[in-house]
């Protein structure tokens, strides 16, 4: 039998060499800041997104909308073509 892993029940934020528990608002802010920092440093083409055909049409629509409108990237793909 393999190693058993517990499911996360709250967001975790990298803190030094480890992680610490965070509230959702803080975790989302850290994620947004990180995405903005990469976009500012390397341009919108540094962002890419891949979506899955098993997701709903609505989820795939939101994924491409986020990539194009929020991140300003056309680097979007999915397995819908296969």
pLDDT per position as a tens digit, 8-51: 899 999 999 999 999 999 999 999 999 999 999 999 999 999 98
Asked if the model's pLDDT at residue 73 lies above 90, the reply is yes
Q: Whole-model pTM?
A: 0.74
CB 68 within 8 A of CB 61: no
CB 30 within 8 A of CB 66: no
Spatial CB neighbours of 20, under 8 Å, sequence gap ≥ 6? 12, 13
User: How many Å separate Cα 46 from the centre of its chain?
Assistant: 14
């Amino acid at each position: 039998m393999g190693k058993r892993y517990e499911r996360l029940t709250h967001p975790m934020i990298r803190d030094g060499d480890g992680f610490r528990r965070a509230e959702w608002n803080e975790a989302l802010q850290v994620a947004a800041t990180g995405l903005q920092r990469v976009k500012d440093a390397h341009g919108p083409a540094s962002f890419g997104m891949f979506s899955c055909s098993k997701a709903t049409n609505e989820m795939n629509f939101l994924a491409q909308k986020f990539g194009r409108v929020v991140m300003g990237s056309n680097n979007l793909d999915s397995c819908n073509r296969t």
